[in-house]
Structure 1
Amino acid sequence: MTAPLDVKVEEKLYQNRYQVDASRVHIKVMPHDVPSPALRALLTACPARCYQLNDRGQVEITADGCVECGTCRVIAEPSGAIEWSYPRGGYGVLFKFG
């Protein structure tokens, strides 16, 4: 039996596990009133959809599903819009299929 070719990214991401480190968040969005272009780009660029607008129109992150792809580091970290660090050992994403 062959695997279906139309498997959605969300279905693959669901197979991963994430160990949350509640005492040390590894990605922080810097305080802002109006999102910068870099922050707005993360709303669509993040493959795990970790970035969303809150009810005040500010970008927030829920890093619990972060796949550590580095997209936000390339787009927003150089501008100072986010602070990023590696999760501590034992925390973060655990890929089921490699």
Structure 2
Amino acid sequence: MADRYFLLVCDDSPHDVVLTGPGVRVLDVAQVVRRLTGLSLWRSEVLATQVPAVVLEGVPREEAAAAAVALCEAGARAEAREQPEPDFLKH
């Protein structure tokens, strides 16, 4: 049986929110990570200190941009990155 792959065309490609630096206010950043992910405060603090870390994965562009801004306002360095195209779609 042959495998078939279908590319669904949508308006927005998925984005990841990557924390690249916690800054000096790690607890403030951990609280924002907790609010965004729903993790416990302890796990959020661990995630905030182990950079680079993907905080959110596969979210729409607007949500990723808002999350990156919230992290930056807390003192972190963060960015929204577009997910790369899967290998099986490249020719």
Q: More helix per residue: 1 or 2? A: 2
Q: Which band: TM-score by shorter chain?
A: 0.3 to 0.5
Query: Considering only CA atoms, is the larger Rg found in Structure 1 or Structure 2?
Result: 2
Task: Please give the TM-score of this superposition, normalised by the length of structure 1.
Answer: 0.38
